[in-house]
Amino acid sequence: MQIPLARIGPIQKVDIERSSGVVLFDDFARICTVVKKRRSYDFRGDFAPYRMAVMFGGSWKSYNHHFIVQVAGCRLRCPYCYVDNLKTDCNFNADDLVEKFISFKAMARQKLRVDVNVFHFMGGMPGKYPEFWLELRESLDKHGLKKVILFSDVVLLEDHFFKNSPWNYLYNLQLHHFVLTGCLKGTNPKNFKENTGFDLFEESLVELDHYSRRHQFYLTLIGFEQKDLSFLWKIIPEPMVDFLTIVNYEVTRSRKNLSAKNPAC
């Protein structure tokens, strides 16, 4: 099958050069450094490399550089979204993307002296295409990349929008070297709607419950309120949650400025 990817726009490329840690990108893929400085684990941020080290062994540094492609066509309207262009730009199959990964991995080793061991197939809404997880895993294995981590995410509304229940693919496929994170975009109906444009907080909690005890799954929480957290721990254990901070990228600033000048946009 083929998947529509979001094109990396010119302003987004400015953000990549400023904040990605390493600079390597084309119009559809990029390499980023997840943890720029060593932090204590009580810091609020993205700790995917540390989690992968616990899951698969070795140093967190082995999982700190990610090859990233972003699926186009997300249904949500998150004002902080980093994806510059959510409409369909170009379709790729699994072999196309793995060949691109191999090329980027080689360039990163040669030009940047870093190892890239994580293939991050991220949002948009990659959970719209859960069958593609298997195709990517099979293509990586076919190319001798069995130890490369396939990393993806769900926004916990895939079943609501598409009726495809991504968790069933996880139970049935038993993918190896695969990590899935769910993104809960708020901890109450009010801030969830502010962060997504949809009043679907309860629906997202229903879907979260399908993942909450699964091995190699953890939750990223954005736009949370401290008073709501004790309720959340009843659904998913606290150690399975990372707290993300909304970053005001040039992409989002530009979008806000454009909306201010052209209210109809």
Q: Mind listing the pLDDT tens digit for each residue in 103-119?
A: 999 999 999 999 999 99
Distance (Å, whole) CA 259 – CA 265 = 6
For β-strands 118-122 and 90-92, DSSP reports them as unpaired
Average pLDDT for 93-97: 98
pLDDT over threshold 60, residue 138: yes
Say which residues have a Cβ less than 8 Å from residue 55's Cβ, sequence separation at least 6: 179, 216
Among 11-15, 98-102, 230-234, the minimum mean pLDDT is found in 11-15
Q: Taking Cα atoms as reference points, which of 92, 74, 102 lies closest to residue 28?
A: 92
For 14-49, how does the pLDDT look when each residue is reduced to its tens digit (9 = 90+)? 888 887 777 899 999 999 999 886 554 444 567 899
Q: Mean pLDDT of all residues in the chain?
A: 87
How many Cβ atoms sit within 10 Å of the Cβ of residue 195? 23
**Cα–Cα distance list, 226 to 187, 192, 195, 212 (Å):** 9, 14, 16, 20
CATH code for the domain of 163:
3.20.20.70
Question: Which one-letter DSSP state was computed for residue 71?
Answer: B
For 198-231, how does the pLDDT look when each residue is reduced to its tens digit (9 = 90+)? 999 999 999 999 998 777 899 999 888 999 999 9
**H or E element that contains 68:** strand 65-70
For β-strands 178-184 and 149-154, DSSP reports them as parallel
pLDDT over threshold 70, residue 256: no
Q: What is the pTM of this model?
A: 0.90
Structural domain containing residue 176? 3-261
HSE of 162 in the Cβ direction (CA atoms, 13 Å)? 18
If one counts the domains in the chain, the total is 1
Rg, the chain, Cα only: 18
Distance (Å, whole) CA 155 – CA 76 = 9
- 33 by DSSP, 3-state: which? strand
Q: For the residues of 103-134, what is the DSSP string, one character each?
A: HHHHHIIIII-----EEEEESS-GGG-THHHH
Give the model's pLDDT for residue 173. 67
For β-strands 241-244 and 217-222, DSSP reports them as parallel
How many Cβ atoms sit within 10 Å of the Cβ of residue 100? 17
Say which residues have a Cβ less than 8 Å from residue 252's Cβ, sequence separation at least 6: 79, 80, 81, 82
Give the model's pLDDT for residue 43. 47
Distance (Å, whole) CA 158 – CA 125 = 8
